[in-house]
Homo-oligomer: A and B are copies of this chain.
């Protein structure tokens, strides 16, 4: 009888082990506040021992673009889009009160005064904590963003199937 009582528990343990705490974050937004929220959750979860995957798509790709990287899209339309849509984790605007850069600068100043890490620092921490970075190939093409203009440390260049395979095992799946 003891065995029968132990068996189901170990089977349950197996089930729980097969579904460890995973976090996936789709970052579509290129706003400073939303990118901060995404990286604060990602680094927090990784520090708590959770397996974290971030999937960068559309404007979210801006956060993982190297600052000042030259645009190398082949056709002029995408090159133009790339010019309008500046990248780099340190140039993200606020979703509100950007005010041509003033509001964003203001918040960055407050962050520095309070020694709060910005997006570049949070991103570095995320990479050190083994948060997996996936760049969405579908939207990279769409936005004229090429691999060589992205930061080092991208784990995978992939599409929606890769994201879903991870997300369906995730306990926390956010779209930001």
Contact = CB atoms under 8 A, between A and B. Distances in A.
Interface stretch (A72-80, A123-131, A147-155): A72-80
Band of interface residues on A: 35 or more
A34 B44 contact: no
Given A50-B164, A164-B48, A12 B9 contact: no
In the complex, the count of this chain's copies comes to: 3
A26 B161 contact: no
A70 interface: no
A87 interface: no
Contacts of A109: 77
A69 interface: no
A160 B41 contact: yes
A166 to B, nearest CB: 10
Interface in A34-58: 34, 37, 40-41, 44-45, 48, 50, 57-58
17 contacts: A1-B3, A8-B8, A33-B58, A33-B59, A41-B164, A45-B160, A48-B161, A50-B164, A77-B109, A81-B110, A110-B144, A116-B138, A116-B142, A167-B171, A168-B171, A170-B171, A174-B175
